[in-house]
Amino acid sequence: MSVPGSSVTTGTRGRDTMGSADARAGEQGAGMMLALHAAFRRDLGHLARAAEGLTRRPERRAAVVRGWVAFRDELHHHHTVEDTSLWPAVRRRTSACADAEVLEAMEWEHGIVDPLVEVVDASLSAPAGAGPLDGSDLAAAVDELHQQLSHHLRHEEQDALPLALRVLTAQDWHANSVTARKTKGLRTIPAFLPWLTDGRTAEESASTLALFPGPLLALNGRFFEPRYRRQDRWL
């Protein structure tokens, strides 16, 4: 699996250094991370257009906020799972100084991105004109978020994800997946699955959805996806 804008392709990566079970688990974990990154990049594009166009189309604010809230919540969950589960697991598997520097950079970059998210959220969540930023100031804040998060995603794919694929075991990946599911909660799944594949090609969507159990996919096709499509988002 590969994602446009990403340097990582899952497949046989790491099979020479890991057992087949570890490799398969790593491919699945990497596949989920890359799918999330693709969704974040997609929404960053929507957000940039919204920040530029909201003053001309104020009637679209509710739709923009709906798209923003999904992006904000998924990014927060993604960073939380990485900080509390994935990167600590990697740290336990390696003592190399270079590896430690990569992990420290991931946490440091989260510390840059997350406050930018809070600034944009305070502006979009408030009624028009009542937030701390609006118009060109909001567009500037969104541009900074776009740049910093895009840099972080590239860095993660170039350095941190290959490190995780190199050192983590199938048990580690499973534990991380359990943490992600428990902290996300079942109530979010009906919105999460169609959000994850929104805007993807049929082939990309099929590759991503293959990471989920069949019964859940049946529900997604019959109920989750149609409901998601009926809700207006972004500009």
Task: Say what the pLDDT of residue 24 is.
Answer: 94
To which residue do tokens 């699996």 refer?
Answer: 1
- Per-residue confidence of the chain (235 residues) as pLDDT tens digits? 444 444 555 544 444 444 789 999 999 999 999 999 999 999 999 999 999 998 899 899 999 999 999 999 999 999 999 999 999 999 999 999 999 999 999 999 999 999 999 999 999 987 776 666 677 889 999 999 999 999 999 999 999 999 999 999 999 999 999 999 999 988 999 999 999 999 999 999 999 999 999 999 999 999 999 999 999 999 9
Residue 203 lies in a domain: no
Q: What is the tally of structural domains in the chain?
A: 1
Alpha helices in the chain (DSSP H): 20-53, 61-81, 87-93, 97-125, 135-155, 161-167, 170-184, 189-197, 202-209, 214-219, 225-230
Task: Say what the pLDDT of residue 185 is.
Answer: 87
CA distance linking residue 138 with residue 48, whole number of Å: 10
Task: Say what the pLDDT of residue 14 is.
Answer: 45
Task: Say what the pLDDT of residue 166 is.
Answer: 97
Task: Say what the pLDDT of residue 65 is.
Answer: 95
Assign 36 to helix, strand or coil: helix
CA 32, chain centre distance (Å): 9
Residue 219 lies in a domain: no
Task: Say what the pLDDT of residue 30 is.
Answer: 98
Is pTM, for the whole model, over 0.85?
A: yes
CA distance linking residue 203 with residue 232, whole number of Å: 25
Residue 110 lies in a domain: yes
Digit-coded pLDDT (tens) for 65-124: 999 999 999 999 999 999 999 999 999 999 999 999 999 999 999 999 999 999 999 999
CA distance linking residue 148 with residue 66, whole number of Å: 22
Residue 227 lies in a domain: no
Task: Say what the pLDDT of residue 9 is.
Answer: 52
Distance in Å from the first CA to the final CA of the chain: 30
Structural domain containing residue 169:
20-188
Which domain CATH number covers 90? 1.20.120.520
Residue 197 lies in a domain: no
Measure Cα distances from 54 to 59, 63, 78, 124, 158 in Å. 8, 11, 27, 10, 34
Q: Cβ(103)–Cβ(90) under 8 Å? A: yes
Task: Say what the pLDDT of residue 88 is.
Answer: 98
CA distance linking residue 77 with residue 152, whole number of Å: 16
